[in-house]
Each structure stands twice: as C-alpha cells, then as structure tokens.
Chains A and B, each alone.
Chain A
Amino acid sequence: MTNPNSRKRAFTFVEMIVVIMIVLLLISMSIIHFRNTRHAAASMTTAFASHMEARKASDAIKEALLDGTEVVKPPDGSSLPYLVVRDAVNRLKILFLEKVSDKPDSLYRMVLYTDDYSGTHKSDNRRILFENVKEAWFTALSPGIVIVQFSLLDTSKKELPVLVEASLKNLASIPNE
C-alpha cells in the first residue's frame, strides 16, 4: 500500500529554470571564448604565415647581398628604389622591382640581376627573389650596409611592412701588389 503523504520529491520549475540558465550561461560563455580563441588563432596563423613570408623575403635579400663587396648605388646617405652592388670578382648585382602586370595598381616582384661581363642582358642571369611587393626602398648607410624597407601584401591583401638591415660580407681583400 502506498502512503498518500509520501509524494515523490522533484525539482521545482524555478529550480529547473535556474539550472538551465546557468548551463546556458556557461555554454554561451565557452562558445564566445572559443570563437574568439579560434578567430585569434586563425588571425595568428595568417600573421605567422605573413611574417614567415617576410622573413623569407628578408633572407633572400640578405643572401643576394652576401657576396657583395660594396654598394655602388645608392650613394651613402641616399635612398633609391633599386640597389646596385659590386661583388668580389667585380660583377654588378642589381636588385630592382618589376611590375607583374600593366595595370596601374599592379604589384611588383623583387628581381636580382647578376651581370656576367658580357655587357648584354641575359634572362638566365635574372632571378625572382619574391613576389607581392607593394614598394621597396634601399638606403645605403655605409659602403657595406643597406637598409631595405619594403612591404608585402598577404593573402588577405593586408600590407605587411618590413625593415631589414643587410650587410655585404666583403669577401674581397683590399688590393695589394
């Protein structure tokens, strides 16, 4: 026989609402947080990729100048959108920007041309160092040091400015007889 006074105890409507509200609050908090985190992680990934590109571009410039002995152009204390250096065997190396297309807002690519004494232009002597360049300036600080200021556009068309100081290793010795 069941006792009519012993009714089964259950949650009240208010208690249920409070619990559901707390659970919903926690869920929404975590969703917002994780969305922010994911967004930050995504933008971090983009930033990381862009900076890696910038680093690769900087390294390409440094490597191109490595066997240079002295800056020919620009003169010390001057800036130009191109750079001419001389290497240990007196070859000229030219770093310059080349338009990718004829469109007025076209981006550029950074090209390295190494002279081979022939006095004629040979396409084999040119090497593309990197693409997606918006602008570049070379400032000579001394015969062996150049500041290269350039900006790259990343996949989201965001401009990433880069400032790199590169030195010519001057592998040639001072002349002697």
Chain B
Amino acid sequence: MEVLIGVLLLSTAVMVFIQMLQSSGNVLTLTGHSFAANHVASKVLFDLTEESRLNGTLIELMREYPEMKARDKIVEAQSFYFRNIRDSVEPWGSIFPAKEGGINKDSGELYREFEPFQITVFAQRPQSLSSSYSGRHLAEIQIALDWSEKNGQKRSYELSSLLLSPSGPRPMIGVPLYDANTLDNDIRELFYPNLRRDNLNSAVSKTGGDIALIRNLGIVGVSIKNMNQILASLTSDIQSLRSKRKTLLQSSTYQLVATQINIARKCESAASLIFNGLLSLQKAFAEIKNTFRISKLGSLRYIRITGAFYDIVNLYPKIVEWIRNSGEEYDWMLVDYFWYIRSRRIEEYSRIKSLEALRLLATLAPADRSAYANFIQRETARLAGRNHYWELLLLREQKLSKDESLFKTVFSNLTEISRLYYSVLKPIVDLSDKIYKKQLTE
C-alpha cells in the first residue's frame, strides 16, 4: 500500500515537473527574429499597397509575375521585395538589381538579421466575402515568413491584409445632361418657342404629335444643347489658358505648371462630358429607333429636331480627339526642359494621366497604338533604375500592349468603355446621321 502511494505521488510529481518544463519552453516561442519578421512583413505589405495603387489589378499582376509570390530568401536580392534597398554601386542615381540593391554580405548586421528568413506571399479573392460586391474587388494578401532558430527550431510569422484589386468593369450609366424637374418646360421651349403659355402636353396636342416620341426627341435636344453650352465654356477656358501659357513660358514659373495641368484636365473633362452625355441618351434613342415616324411629329418643324442629331454626329469623333489632347497636354509636363519647375509628384501625376489617356486611345483608336508603344518605350528608358514600381508597371504595359486578350482581362474597364463606344454610341451616331439626313422617314 505504501509503495503504491509512493509510486502515485512520485508519478504525479514527475508529471508536474515535465509539464513545468514544457510550459516554460512554450513561453519562449517568440524570439528576436519574430520582431524582425514583423518589420519585414510590414515592408512587403507596404510594397504591395503601392503596387495595388499603381497597377490596380494586383491579383492578375501577381499571377503574371510569379516571383512576387515565390518562396525566396530575403537576402542577396532573391526576393522580389528586397531588390531596391540601396543605391550602392556606380553609376549613382539608379538601382539595377542585377548588381546592387539587395541585402548582401557587405550590408553587415542587416544581412545577419535577415539571412534566416524565407518569404512567401499569397494572394486570392477573400473566400468569406466572395458573394459580396466588395469581395469581388478585393485581394486577400497573406505574407508568410519562416526561419530556423539557432537551435534548429522552425518558426513562422504571418501577416494578412485586404487590398484593392478590382475584377471586371465598373458599371457605367452615363450622366444625364438635363434637369428632370424642368425637362418638359425645356423641351417645350426648344421645340415650340412660340407657344409660351403652353406646357409640353398642351403644345403637342395643339400641334398634333406623339407626345412620347417628342419627349424622347426633346431629351436628346435638351441634353445636346446643354452639352454644347458646357463644351463651349470648356473650349473657351482652354483657349484662354493656352494664351496664358504662352506668356508664362517666358518666365517659367510654378504657375505654368498649374496652368498646364488645368488645360489637360479640361480636355479630359470635355472627352468625359461627351462620352457620358451620349451614353445617357441610350434609353431615349432605343425608343426613338422603334417609334420614329415623321408623321408622328405633327406640325413640329423638322429643322427643330435635326440640330441635335447633326451635333451628335460631329461630337462622337471628338471623344477620341479630346482624349488625345488631354494625353498630349499631360505629356507636355514630362518634357525635360521643365524639370526645374514641375515637382516630382506632378511629374508622376502627369505620367500616369498621360499613360491612362494613351491606354484608352489605344483601345478606342487603333491608329494611336504606336503613340502608346512609343510612350512606354520612352518612359522605360527614362525611369530605368530610378523607380522600380514604374519599371514593373511599364514592363507589364509593354507585355499587355502586345497581348490583346490579356489587355482586355487586365483593363476590363477600358474594354467596357470600348464596348460602349462601338456597340452603344456608334449605333446612336448612325441613327442620328439618318435622322439628320432625313433618311429615316417611315
């Protein structure tokens, strides 16, 4: 009996002792490397956030460049994220990862600190949010680091985050260019200027026409009239800004930069105004196409409706023209001569705006593809070794410019704009041409 109790007491004591040893070991799973791992993961997350800002489609980008996800060592420029740490070799002013930029043995303690780490980055659509709208446009990023401690124990650290990576185009509905509250009155004024005391319904019943058709024709007329007014004001602003630019060129002040950006923005607004304005007329045109008969106009003079359709035919090609103008005006800021008055932030802003304009042009006007290719080539040479985010962007852009199907996948928004431009706006223009030329009689 005593022996049994003795054995029980002893085994309990041994178990407690073993557990104590084990638990004291568990406390030490966090080591100095864990802190460094946190720093490393934060740096990589920072890089990916910048990539998502600049490149937009992060998930596709990482699929195209497997080195962004590969399991690599951090040191000796093996990891994609640790190749531009320092400009340490001549020529100064550029980092070329093939011969510098990585954390090497010359980096001293930094090398010893980061040498044990291996990094892997995972990117996927967030499963838990897959059914929601936002989930389809987010990327779940997981940065995993693993390393071995001096005693051989394996350790790991993970950091997760959600970043923006849009999939598919954003919905575009166009911006109506009329005031719904005053629409009927505006149509009456446009089509029946002499019947001032009437509202639209009574004016149509007096002159004998189809109110639904006339209202749709009126939506087109009022929208185009308003669009022309805004365009006239934009064009006049651009003209006066261009004259001002001529004067400012003599002094080359910072005001020149503001003027230039303003010109480019106004050109961009003009393109966007026409595109969105025409797009907003989709519904009205669908009904006009099905119901248009001259007999349904009553005594409304045909000349009153044709102006808007004539304008539509002329405005349509202006979309591309304004985009081209906008790209050229932004590009103007990149001319070397102005380096001392533009700031670097404005240089980057102008570069991205110019690229966006050229990308869109290449989608809408095949003749402009060479300008797009030339821009990529010129900026690649200019930024070599200077800005690796842009280097990657341009490298990818070069690849995309030669691969139409990949281009369409990556820039789904542009593909959608192109579809709307050719499949929605072009039929509107063709119909307008027929109405203007009185070819759509019955």
**Using Cβ atoms and an 8 Å threshold, which residues of chain B touch A139?**
84-87, 95
Stretch from A92-100, A108-116, A159-167 contacting the other chain: A159-167
Contact A170 B345 (CB under 8 A): yes
Q: Is A16 an interface residue (CB 8 A)?
A: no
Q: Is B65 an interface residue (CB 8 A)?
A: no
**Using Cβ atoms and an 8 Å threshold, which residues of chain B touch A74?**
87
**Using Cβ atoms and an 8 Å threshold, which residues of chain B touch A149?**
85-86, 110
Contact B345 A161 (CB under 8 A): no
Contact B346 A174 (CB under 8 A): yes
Given the known A-B contacts A86-B343, A143-B347, A149-B86, are A162 and B31 also in contact in the complex, defined by CB atoms under 8 Å?
no
Contact B110 A161 (CB under 8 A): yes
Classify the interface of chain A: helix, strand, loop or mixed.
mixed
Q: Is B399 an interface residue (CB 8 A)?
A: no
Residue of B nearest to A47 (CB): B32
Which size class do B's interface residues fall under?
35 or more
Q: B92 CB to closest chain A CB, in angstroms?
A: 6
Contact B50 A143 (CB under 8 A): no
Q: B12 CB to closest chain A CB, in angstroms?
A: 14
**A39→B411 CA distance, assembly (Å):** 57
**Using Cβ atoms and an 8 Å threshold, which residues of chain A touch B343?**
69-70, 86, 143
Q: A123 CB to closest chain B CB, in angstroms?
A: 29
Contact partner of A47 (CB less than 8 A), chosen from B31, B87, B385, is B31
Q: B16 CB to closest chain A CB, in angstroms?
A: 12
Contact B346 A177 (CB under 8 A): no
Contact partner of B84 (CB less than 8 A), chosen from A55, A147, A160, is A147
Given the known A-B contacts A44-B30, A79-B86, are A144 and B345 also in contact in the complex, defined by CB atoms under 8 Å?
yes
Which residues of chain B (323-347) have a CB below 8 Å from chain A? 343-347
Contact A163 B387 (CB under 8 A): no
Q: Is A106 an interface residue (CB 8 A)?
A: no
Contact partner of B386 (CB less than 8 A), chosen from A34, A75, A159, is A75
Contact B257 A175 (CB under 8 A): yes
Which residues of chain B (124-172) have a CB below 8 Å from chain A? none
**Using Cβ atoms and an 8 Å threshold, which residues of chain B touch A143?**
343-345, 347-348
Map CB proximity to A onto B220-244 as digits: 1 under 8 Å, 0 otherwise.
0000000000000000000001000
Given the known A-B contacts A77-B93, A161-B113, are A142 and B387 also in contact in the complex, defined by CB atoms under 8 Å?
yes
Q: A77 CB to closest chain B CB, in angstroms?
A: 4
**Using Cβ atoms and an 8 Å threshold, which residues of chain B touch A51?**
32, 35-36
Q: Is B17 an interface residue (CB 8 A)?
A: yes
Given the known A-B contacts A26-B17, A70-B344, are A76 and B257 also in contact in the complex, defined by CB atoms under 8 Å?
no
Q: Is B24 an interface residue (CB 8 A)?
A: yes
Q: Is B390 an interface residue (CB 8 A)?
A: yes
Q: Is A33 an interface residue (CB 8 A)?
A: yes
Given the known A-B contacts A34-B24, A165-B43, A174-B346, are A44 and B31 also in contact in the complex, defined by CB atoms under 8 Å?
yes
**A91→B50 CA distance, assembly (Å):** 25
Classify the interface of chain B: helix, strand, loop or mixed.
helix
Q: B27 CB to closest chain A CB, in angstroms?
A: 8
**Using Cβ atoms and an 8 Å threshold, which residues of chain A touch B92?**
78
Which size class do A's interface residues fall under?
35 or more
**A76→B343 CA distance, assembly (Å):** 13
Q: Is A130 an interface residue (CB 8 A)?
A: no
Q: Is B262 an interface residue (CB 8 A)?
A: yes
Q: Is B302 an interface residue (CB 8 A)?
A: no
Map CB proximity to A onto B300-336 as digits: 1 under 8 Å, 0 otherwise.
0000000000000000000000000000000000000
**Using Cβ atoms and an 8 Å threshold, which residues of chain A touch B344?**
70-71, 76, 143
**Using Cβ atoms and an 8 Å threshold, which residues of chain A touch B30?**
44
**Using Cβ atoms and an 8 Å threshold, which residues of chain B touch A30?**
17, 21
**A43→B259 CA distance, assembly (Å):** 60
Contact A78 B110 (CB under 8 A): no
Given the known A-B contacts A26-B17, A145-B50, are A33 and B87 also in contact in the complex, defined by CB atoms under 8 Å?
no
Contact B109 A33 (CB under 8 A): no
Which residues of chain A (28-47) have a CB below 8 Å from chain B? 30, 33-34, 37, 40-41, 43-44, 47
Map CB proximity to A onto B242-254 as digits: 1 under 8 Å, 0 otherwise.
0000000000001
**Using Cβ atoms and an 8 Å threshold, which residues of chain B touch A66?**
none
Contact A76 B17 (CB under 8 A): no
Given the known A-B contacts A41-B28, A44-B30, are A165 and B46 also in contact in the complex, defined by CB atoms under 8 Å?
yes
**Using Cβ atoms and an 8 Å threshold, which residues of chain B touch A129?**
none
Contact B39 A162 (CB under 8 A): yes
Given the known A-B contacts A34-B24, A47-B31, A165-B43, are A142 and B109 also in contact in the complex, defined by CB atoms under 8 Å?
no
Contact B87 A79 (CB under 8 A): yes
Contact A77 B385 (CB under 8 A): yes
**A54→B262 CA distance, assembly (Å):** 44
Q: Is B258 an interface residue (CB 8 A)?
A: yes
Task: List the 7 closest A-B pairs by CB distance, nearest first.
Answer: A77-B386, A143-B344, A51-B35, A47-B32, A175-B258, A161-B110, A70-B345
**25 interchain pairs (CB within 8 A)?**
A43-B32, A44-B28, A54-B39, A70-B344, A75-B93, A77-B93, A77-B387, A139-B86, A139-B95, A141-B84, A141-B389, A144-B345, A144-B348, A145-B389, A151-B108, A161-B108, A161-B109, A161-B113, A162-B39, A163-B85, A165-B47, A170-B345, A174-B345, A175-B261, A177-B241
Interface residues of A (CB under 8 A from B): 26, 30, 33-34, 37, 40-41, 43-44, 47-48, 50-51, 54-55, 58, 69-71, 74-79, 86, 137, 139, 141-145, 147, 149, 151, 159-165, 167, 170, 174-177
